[in-house]
A and B are shown apart, each in its own frame.
Chain A
């Protein structure tokens, strides 16, 4: 029977009882069980670790905690052994016996499992000393590392639900809204709208029936912070939504989550069940509030990340946006006042209530407060989730945390904000990352994707990629988006296939401007950003595609040819076997040849050649 936790004192006592339950535990082994580490095989590591500890009679003194994402996905499966704070990466089930016999029993560090700093080449023993973590301010993400997402006790042990008890125990709805307003919290999903203001508008909207929604339809390709937070810390979202529902006066909430995130769906479902058992959800929440949350899965439509389309989808309809002349805080889900916030926004709410608006506002810049999680991916050494105070420079994120260029190839740009954002060149890396600065530079913070691009990335191809993506995802309801994207894609295809004309660049800008001003929803209004920003900063790449039919990155297939240098080719046959189009011929140990008519220019042969005999010309 779960305890009844009505007051802060009850919660404190329960928290202390949790700590005393673990009095015998001398060592805690934390293993990441997030989607990333699962893809790297963490499930098997966890199984064999549990078996090995049982076989050694260590289950009482050694606790295994399976957590959500730590953020350093590249190095997964990740294991941290506390209290020594020893960090092991890329752990395989075969390493487990050694970990138990050496590290757990004898306190010996196992060299080959340590992380090697790619910049200095040094082995690092402690998690806290790893540069990727050290330069971050992990307010939200650090919670993931300390809790099992399927355990409400773990969440309570680190102070969970104390913000809810504080709010229901003695704050009025107006006080809550004022606190959120003072913190300066702005929407983390891309819009950057002031959260407190949204709550107030929803509270003041006419009507008794109101809804709150958590937008976990993280469709931006290259962004996965919402998945990691919902998957690794679902109770924080529930607590944030509970506080929000009390503030705006709602009794029903929904979490709309992508079906591509199965682990997030299942962890959030478990969290809701547990919260009900503990009396944090349901008809009688501390005698002050009633509120329920339901999970609804998306079905693979990017545009459903847009608030009005999301609400249509929640109603079981086709996810098409509607004009926002009447805001969703007035008429949203089923035409009732609805307060929709993003996962990361909700997760920040309990922190603000617990630590105070002043604490939150002390981080960040004048207009952008607090910390923000970014998904740092692409052509950079350390990829993963990065949480920094707003206003941190791109250079700090990409070079100090990300470790700089991979394979020694110079970084030339970073794409921020997903398909609605833009590409910023390396010269702009000293810009502070905040809502206003990135927007002025032609990009946006967006939901927080940061894809690093180096000399091997063609910027025209990137623009084409995004436009193709958006055309595929456009719902087709409004004309400028439906036709504009199609026309843009035609032009970009012409350019990347060698049929481009100089005047088409002006046409692209024209189309972009028209779409920005006339499209119905944010998808269309921002759709031209990838094209406009690359035209602004990388115009010479467009021009060389058009005038010289040359793609400097060697990406645009119609403009390149692969050829084999007979002097370097040993006739090993690796490329011949690898070619999916059977375009390579040659006898064993004699130089091979590529039949250009069959070649699709995929470059697979170049990747497999060990003798550098294949080049792009």
Chain B
């Protein structure tokens, strides 16, 4: 883990156990997941037992304990998205990439996640790809979206070669 980044995250937060969730948020955002190493360091700096850090990191859905793929597909499973066909978005990704929610493709290109509501209910079904919201999704649009990412990665690879 990069020392400097970690120092910035912990700046003004040392020995403040109540900052645990905020710190873990920043670690998650910066590194994409919370490693064992990060948990140990957070425990030491905030003065919270490692077991407690682990318990909090494990309890809240926003934290991932394993590295995620280069691209994260988040399917909103809120009620409004559900009645407008959100389960089909999961079907589509399952069929296309062979992964279940919470899993990452073996090539580490995609992680599929589900979220219980993004608060963009009028636009359902909503799918978020790498932080960008896509409204009124259909399985067809989603397939093309995933293909466009695959295509872009291929081009980058070809350029590098």
Contacts and interface: CB of A to CB of B under 8 A. Distances in A.
A410 B139 CA distance: 25
A221 B91 contact: no
Contacts of B31: none
A418 interface: yes
Contacts of A377: 79-80, 121-122, 124
Contacts of B78: 221-222
B122 A261 contact: no
Residue among A74, A378, A453, A579 with max Cβ neighbours from chain B (10 Å): A378
B96 A224 contact: no
B65 interface: no
Interface in B10-34: 17-22, 24-25
Interface in B89-122: 91-92, 94-96, 115-122
Contact of A462 (B19, B83, B117): B83
Residue among B24, B48, B120, B122 with max Cβ neighbours from chain A (10 Å): B122
A115 to B, nearest CB: 15
B126 interface: yes
A interface, how many residues as a size bin?
35 or more
A36 B122 contact: yes
Q: Main SS of the interface on chain B?
A: helix
B135 A608 contact: no
Nearest to B118: A260
A299 B62 contact: yes
Contacts of A260: 115, 117-119
Contact of A221 (B62, B79, B122, B139): B79
A27 B120 CA distance: 30
Interface string A223-242: 11001000000000000000
A123 B68 CA distance: 48
Nearest to B61: A300
Contact of B62 (A259, A384, A462): A259
A173 interface: no
B56 interface: yes
A223 B121 contact: yes
Given A36-B122, A221-B79, A314 B18 contact: yes
Contacts of B25: 259, 297, 299
A600 B139 CA distance: 14
Contact of A302 (B116, B119, B135): B116
A297 B123 contact: no
Nearest to A377: B80
Given A39-B123, A581-B95, A465 B139 contact: no
Interface string B125-151: 010000001110011100100000000
A73 B83 contact: no
Interface in B48-106: 48, 52, 55-56, 59-63, 77-85, 87-88, 91-92, 94-96
B117 A318 contact: no
B126 A39 contact: yes
Contacts of B119: 35, 218, 223-224, 227, 258, 260-261
A222 B79 contact: yes
Contacts of A219: 116-117
B21 A220 contact: no
A129 B154 CA distance: 51
B91 A580 contact: yes
Nearest to B117: A221
Contacts of B24: 299
A64 B139 CA distance: 37
Nearest to A449: B79
A554 B120 CA distance: 26
Contacts of A318: 55-56, 59
Interface in A368-389: 375-379, 383-385
B116 A221 contact: yes
A39 B91 CA distance: 23
A378 B21 contact: no
A473 B122 CA distance: 23
B127 to A, nearest CB: 10
A316 B20 contact: yes
A300 B80 contact: no
A130 interface: no
A40 B116 contact: no
A73 B122 contact: yes
B83 A378 contact: yes
A451 interface: yes
A194 interface: no
Contact of A316 (B56, B84, B124): B56
Contacts of A342: none
Contacts of B135: 36, 39-40
Interface in A168-223: 218-223
A315 B21 CA distance: 9
Contacts of B126: 39
B94 A580 contact: yes
A267 interface: no
A35 B122 contact: no
A301 interface: yes
A249 interface: no
Contacts of B88: 602-604, 607
B144 to A, nearest CB: 11
B118 A297 contact: no
B83 A39 contact: no
A224 B91 contact: no
Residue among B17, B91, B116 with max Cβ neighbours from chain A (10 Å): B116
Given A299-B62, A607-B88, 5 more contacts: A40-B135, A300-B115, A415-B79, A418-B79, A449-B79
Interface of B: 17-22, 24-25, 46, 48, 52, 55-56, 59-63, 77-85, 87-88, 91-92, 94-96, 115-124, 126, 133-135, 138-140, 143
13 contacts: A74-B123, A218-B119, A221-B79, A224-B117, A298-B62, A317-B52, A377-B79, A415-B79, A457-B83, A465-B82, A580-B94, A582-B95, A604-B92
Interface of A: 35-36, 38-40, 73-74, 76, 218-224, 227, 258-261, 296-302, 313-319, 375-379, 383-385, 415, 418, 449, 451, 453, 457, 462, 465-466, 469, 472-473, 475, 578-582, 600, 602-604, 607-608
Closest 10 CB pairs of A and B: A580-B95, A300-B61, A221-B78, A299-B60, A39-B133, A224-B119, A377-B80, A73-B122, A316-B20, A221-B117
